[in-house]
Chain A
Amino acid sequence: MKVLIVGTGISGLSAAVALASRGEDVIMISPFPSERAQSVMAAGGINAVDEESEDSFEAHIGDTLKGGRFIAGKEAVKGLCEAAPSVIRELEQMGTVFARDENGKIRRRAFGGQSFDRTCYSGTSTGKQIVTALRRELRRYESQGKAEIRLGTDFHSALIEDGRCYGILAYDERYASLAPIYADAVIIASGGQNALYGKTTGSTACDGYTAGRLFMQGAVLKNPEFVQFHPTTYVTPQKNMLISEAARGEGGRLFYVKDSKRVYFMEDLFGPKGNLMPRDVVSRSIFNTGEKVFLDVSFLGGKKIRERMLETYELCMKYGGLDITEEPIPVTPSVHFFMGGLAVDNGHMTNIDGLYAAGECASIYHGANRLGGNSMLAAFYGGKVAAGSIIEREEKREAPLFDGFIRDQEKAFNKILSSSGRKPVTDIRSKLAQAMKGSMGIIRNGKDLEDGINVLDGLIGQVREDEFDSSLLPYFTYSTEAIVVLGKAAMTAALARTESRGAHQRSEYKEEKDEFCAATLISYDGGRLSVSYDKEGRYEH
Chain B
Amino acid sequence: MNIDVRIKRTDPVSGETQWQTFEYDALGKPSVAKILEEINLREQLTDKDGKAARRISWECSCLQGVCGACAMVIDGRPALACETFVDPSAQSEVSIEPLRKFHVVADLVVDRSVIDKTLLESEVYIKDYNESSPDEFAHRYQASKCLKCGLCLEVCPNWTGTGKFAGALFANDCYLVDSADSSTEIRDEFGKHFAAGCSKSLSCMKVCPMKIETIASIAKMNRRKKR
Contact = CB atoms under 8 A, between A and B. Distances in A.
A319 B61 CA distance: 16
> Interface residues of B toward A: which range?
35 or more
B65 A35 contact: no
A259 interface: no
Nearest to A92: B131
B48 interface: no
Given A143-B123, A469-B45, A204 B31 contact: no
Interface of B: 12, 27-28, 30-31, 33-34, 40-45, 52, 54-55, 57, 59-69, 82-83, 105, 113, 116, 119-120, 123-126, 129, 131-132, 134, 137, 140-141, 144-149, 173, 176-177, 180
B23 to A, nearest CB: 18
Contacts of B67: 35-37, 40-41, 203
A371 to B, nearest CB: 23
Nearest to A242: B64
Contacts of B55: 424, 469, 471-472
Interface string A452-471: 00000000000000000101
B144 A133 contact: yes
Given A36-B69, A139-B119, A471-B55, 6 more contacts: A38-B62, A41-B62, A129-B144, A203-B62, A205-B61, A318-B65
A237 B61 contact: no
Nearest to B27: A237
Given A35-B148, A95-B176, A95-B180, A427 B43 contact: yes
Interface stretch (A120-128, A402-410, A499-507): A120-128
B181 to A, nearest CB: 8
Given A139-B120, A203-B61, A132 B146 contact: yes
B4 to A, nearest CB: 20
A237 B61 CA distance: 16
Contacts of A97: 137, 140-141, 144
A473 B106 CA distance: 10
Contacts of B41: 424, 426-427, 430
B144 A238 contact: no
A250 interface: no
Nearest to A103: B134
Given A35-B68, A36-B68, A100 B129 contact: no
B64 A238 contact: yes
Interface-centre pick from B126, B129, B147 (highest chain A CB count, 10 A): B126
A122 B45 CA distance: 44
A482 to B, nearest CB: 20
Interface string A210-251: 000000000000000000000000000111010000000000
Interface-centre pick from B60, B116, B125 (highest chain A CB count, 10 A): B125
A133 B42 CA distance: 40
Contacts of B146: 132
A128 B144 contact: yes
